Structure 1
Amino acid sequence: MVSSDTSSLRTRRSVLAACGTAMLAGCSDILAPDSPPPSIECTHTTYDWPMYGYDAARTSHVRSHDLPVAAEASRFSQTGTHTGGGSADAPPVVHDGVAYIAGSVRIEARDIETGARLWESEPEDGIETSPVLACGTVYVSTVNETLAFDPEDGTELWRADVGTHFGVSSSPVAVGDTVYVVGVGVTALDAETGTKRWHAQIEHSALGIAIGDHIYVGAGSNGSGEVAAFTRDGDDLWRTTAAGQVYSATSVVGDTVYAISKTGVLTALAVADGSVRWEASVEHGINEPPAVANGRIVVSAGNEKRTMAFNAATGNRLWTFETGVSTGAPVITGDRVLATGANTGIHVLDVGTGNRVHHWPIENVGSQPVIAGRRLFYRGWDVSDVFVIEP
């Protein structure tokens, strides 16, 4: 969220919170909806939690944070039907005291301190991905479109007819002045205007994207799959089927891309040519990228029960921890790992040993935990709303 006047931004948020869901009817004279929408200008900003997997490389590695000590979670947002669950398919993104959530019925912004809804927008089709914060803008990909919103009041700034059809791992990525969207191939959009810069076709269904020096796409369909690498200009770099059916984004650190197959193999690929550096056995049914930091890789339990850590250079297994079924990517923060179990909660593990140092024994954890403002946000599993563990 780019602003040269923080006090003005806070005042505007206070007005929005007071207006609530009826803001257009009750506060039109304050918000001046007929004024021209602000332009998008891509300047560097550091966000609290800007996208799925935290960064464009999908490392799920954040600096050390103070974590809440509370043992209970409360519902933070319900962005589907007004009376039922099944609303959000992905965790939120967070910055400067505001959480941005994309659900099946609406996109909304909420104050993380009060829970007040600041604005909302109802898309024309479904959403299964997390938003992206970049260029002082909120970007959201629906099934058929990608849209840009003003983070202060939800004004729609542009929309492009490029969507994504799959789960949270295919959430869009923003780097510099470009938003990358995967679905039927990979498309690069100008972040300021929504103009399509290029599109690259992929043989299989594109199921996840990560960006380092180049662009890496995990894909899988009909019993086969690939990892495809492209330059930032959309030119083919290499493609390999060595990693098998990749049903998630990859993670990339340095000169290595890490991909997980649906059938339970973690593969380290050279960024230069896609050649295999090593392979390791993991659990089956993993649809989330691994967390990577400081020479270690942590992989979720998927449809089985064990979260695992490996040496990033050799692939040697370092430890395992039994979380039960997990549909959330791990997070590495400082010397800790946050690992989820759908029915066992969120486990804080020592990244070196795998020993548990803290535990939130909560049910229905359905996504990667998002750390911001001494809070943990996550999507529920069987109810799919967004929940929060607060200080």
Structure 2
Amino acid sequence: MPSITRRTFLGTLAASASVGVAGCSSSCPDSDAPEPSVVVGTGEAGSGFETLPGGAWPSPRFDAGNTGHPPSRRPPTDPSLRWRTTLPAPRVDDARADASAPTVADGQVYLTTGAGAFALALRDGAERWHVDDLTPATTDHYGNELVPPVVDDGRVYVATGAGVVALHADDGTTAWRNTDAAAAGVPTVSGDTLFVPTADGLIGLATDDGSRRWAVDGVNTSLPAVADGTVVVGGEETVALDAATGDRRWSAPVRPEAHPVVADGTVYLGTYEGLVGLRLDDGSERWRVDRGSGRTFSAPVVTPETIYAVERPGEAPDATFALDRGGDGPPDPRWCSYVGDGAVAAAAGGHAFALQSGSSDQRPPPQLVAFTARFGEATWGYATAERPLPPALLDGALVSVTDRGTAVAFGGA
């Protein structure tokens, strides 16, 4: 395993609003993949949880701001495989995956496949209900993969190619359908409004009956971020809209590599020109981390102390970066680690969780890896022959779904 010294970033930062990181010609000081001390996932699964894990993961990035950070949550640090369920997952058009990432609320796990929408018992993975008369939408948010269900206040919102369907969470029966426009991204719920990306722009729907409140054309996003009455979308430029009316508040000439993230009055953007922070109130630039031409950053995971983002340098393997948040100034790199072709998916309780390609000499390789927030050491990994999608992080537990429709749950102190 790479040592802390090798994996702690040693670059020099310039004291300015635009930061260049020197002393590193590749994506990381080392190029070998992390080797977790514990690898789970290939053995027999248990019969379920004796005590149901607490917490919820209602959207694929946890909250309306897309932070990927559930506060006051203890992730599994010594995990065991509690259950495994394989779902029917016929291919949807040319989707890259046959299943969606999971969401979790009120003791149930929700996901979509080409066979429809599913609810599984969080305790043991048993099927609670299945709605088969819908085909989930696909989005390039996860590389043309299926849109996960979004859960809020007893409703499960499923984006489809024919619009949006709201299901009752307890039994999967239909609460309402809106067929005004085909969904083309992951919806976001905030207050009493569901914000739905479409091929033409963004629409705001009332959560109680699905009626349209407003529609804005000409903005593009795979997953909007909502905070403080503002909706932020990212396409060819970054645009902020009034959440109540859809009126444009500001635009910034910054093109995100993926979706925006909003936390504490700042819009965090992984872009083709570095990692950028904008002010939520007016869109002006707070800071920029620029690692040089040809290096892009993924959409970050943001905690009160740390920004996690994957750098894609082009000429070298991708790397997970942990950067210290600090006031209005630019973040300082703390450590980085090889992830191959991967992404940072979530962070909580002193750990960050990254998806990675793994090393070629392991069969199967660990493709979901837990890193310590302070030093970036790999503590455990999930090994699977299939590709895991972004997980749902609960209190003392984690739920993951693979691209072929295998759902698993881990638990452990």
Distance 2:62 2:217 in 1: 26
Q: CA deviation at 1:373?
A: 6.1
The aligned counterpart of 1:129 is 147
| Mapping for residues 116-265 of structure 1, pairs under 5 Å | 116-127=126-137, 128-162=146-180, 166=184, 170-183=185-198, 184-203=200-219, 205-213=220-228, 214-219=230-235, 225-233=236-244, 234-241=246-253, 243-244=254-255, 246-261=256-271, 263=272, 265=274
| CA 1:312–1:226: 2 relative to 1, 3 Å | farther
Secondary structure (helix, strand or coil) at the match of 1:207 reads coil
| CA 1:336–1:192: 2 relative to 1, 3 Å | same
Distance 1:69 1:319 in 2: 23
Distance 2:88 2:172 in 1: 15
Q: CA deviation at 1:232?
A: 1.5
Distance 2:190 2:281 in 1: 20
Q: CA deviation at 1:275?
A: 1.5
Q: CA deviation at 1:358?
A: 3.1
| Mapping for residues 271-290 of structure 1, pairs under 5 Å | 271-281=280-290, 289-290=299-300
Secondary structure (helix, strand or coil) at the match of 1:337 reads strand
In the alignment, is residue 55 of structure 1 matched against residue 63 of structure 2? yes
Counterpart of 1:265, as a letter, is G
Distance 1:357 1:149 in 2: 38
| Mapping for residues 1-391 of structure 1, pairs under 5 Å | 48-62=56-70, 63-67=72-76, 69-70=78-79, 75-81=84-90, 88-127=98-137, 128-162=146-180, 166=184, 170-183=185-198, 184-203=200-219, 205-213=220-228, 214-219=230-235, 225-233=236-244, 234-241=246-253, 243-244=254-255, 246-261=256-271, 263=272, 265-281=274-290, 289-300=299-310, 304-313=317-326, 314-326=330-342, 328-343=343-358, 344-372=366-394, 374-381=396-403, 383=404, 385-391=406-412
Give the TM-score normalised by structure 2.
0.72
Q: CA deviation at 1:157?
A: 0.9
Q: CA deviation at 1:375?
A: 3.1
Q: Which has the higher contact order (CA 8 A, sep 6+)?
A: 2
Q: CA deviation at 1:346?
A: 2.2
Distance 1:171 1:207 in 2: 6
Q: Report the aligned-residue RMSD.
A: 2.7
Unaligned runs of 5+ in 1: 1-45, 220-224
Distance 1:156 1:285 in 2: 41
- Per-residue Cα deviation, 1:137-156 (whole angstroms, up to 9, x for no partner): 11111123111101111101
| CA 1:358–1:126: 2 relative to 1, 3 Å | closer
Q: CA deviation at 1:79?
A: 4.3
More helix by share: 1
Q: CA deviation at 1:357?
A: 3.1
Contact 2:159 2:165 in 1 (8 A): yes
Secondary structure (helix, strand or coil) at the match of 2:268 reads strand
The aligned counterpart of 2:48 is none
Distance 2:257 2:114 in 1: 22
Counterpart of 2:193, as a letter, is T
Between the two proteins, the alignment pairs up a number of residues equal to 329
- Per-residue Cα deviation, 1:221-264 (whole angstroms, up to 9, x for no partner): xxxx11110111211011112x22x2422111112101112x36
Distance 2:180 2:270 in 1: 26
Q: CA deviation at 1:329?
A: 3.6
Counterpart of 2:407, as a letter, is V
Distance 1:318 1:92 in 2: 30
Distance 1:280 1:123 in 2: 46
Secondary structure (helix, strand or coil) at the match of 1:206 reads coil
Secondary structure (helix, strand or coil) at the match of 2:237 reads strand
Counterpart of 2:56, as a letter, is D
Q: CA deviation at 1:94?
A: 1.0
| CA 1:89–1:227: 2 relative to 1, 3 Å | farther
| CA 1:172–1:59: 2 relative to 1, 3 Å | same
| CA 1:66–1:292: 2 relative to 1, 3 Å | closer
| CA 1:292–1:373: 2 relative to 1, 3 Å | closer
Counterpart of 2:268, as a letter, is Y
Unaligned runs of 5+ in 2: 1-53, 138-145, 359-365
| CA 1:135–1:72: 2 relative to 1, 3 Å | closer
Distance 2:182 2:297 in 1: 20
Q: CA deviation at 1:206?
A: 2.2
Distance 2:357 2:84 in 1: 16
